[in-house]
Amino acid sequence: MFHSTLGQARNKMTRDNDKIVEMLKRHEGEVKTNGRHVVYRCSRGFWTLGIGRNVDSNGGLGLSDDEVDYMLSNDVDRVIAELGKAFPWFSSLDEARRDAMIDICFNLGLPRLKGFAKALSAMASEDYEVAAYEFSDSAWYKQVGKRAQTIVDMIRFGKYPELP
């Protein structure tokens, strides 16, 4: 009996939430660029995201760990799809090299990653030593420091680094 009552309450809340969600969207508004939600300053000057979510470092709600993990998971899925579409060889990589490419693409974005033509050509021909060299011979490598060293080693050796 309790479970059916709880289920009915959840269904009612969902129906009622639909109304309030639509009203909040109308009242709060939303800011999009190219069809995508972007961070904006509300009428009081606080950084805001989505539908009125105050994420300002000065008193805002921010994002919970679960919300950040959800966004990260979506971003990883998007990057994997982009890499699979752009590079036919991507899906045949071992786990460490695949994850190294995901990390680079996540950091740079696909358009900038495509600028590493020699490294990508070496990846396609499974010449991982040359690919590692080409990635390391770049401004990106110098800019991101230890992260780049870890990624390049994963490409070179095909394994995750041992953690201390």
CATH number of the domain bearing residue 139: 1.10.530.40
Shared-domain flag, residues 142 and 100: yes
Shared-domain flag, residues 50 and 86: no
Q: What is the pTM of this model?
A: 0.81
Number of domains in the chain: 2
- Mean pLDDT of all residues in the chain? 91
The answer to whether position 127 is within a domain reads: yes
Q: Which residue is listed with tokens 């095909």?
A: 158
pLDDT digits (tens, 9 = 90+) for 35-92: 999 999 998 999 999 999 999 999 999 999 999 999 999 999 999 999 999 999 999 9
Q: Is 127 exposed, middle or buried (0-12, 13-18, 19+ CB in 10 A)?
A: middle
Q: Cα-flanking dihedrals φ and ψ of residue 87, to 5°?
A: -130, 105
The answer to whether position 163 is within a domain reads: no
Shared-domain flag, residues 92 and 152: yes
Which domain covers residue 40, as residue numbers? Answer: 2-62
The answer to whether position 130 is within a domain reads: yes
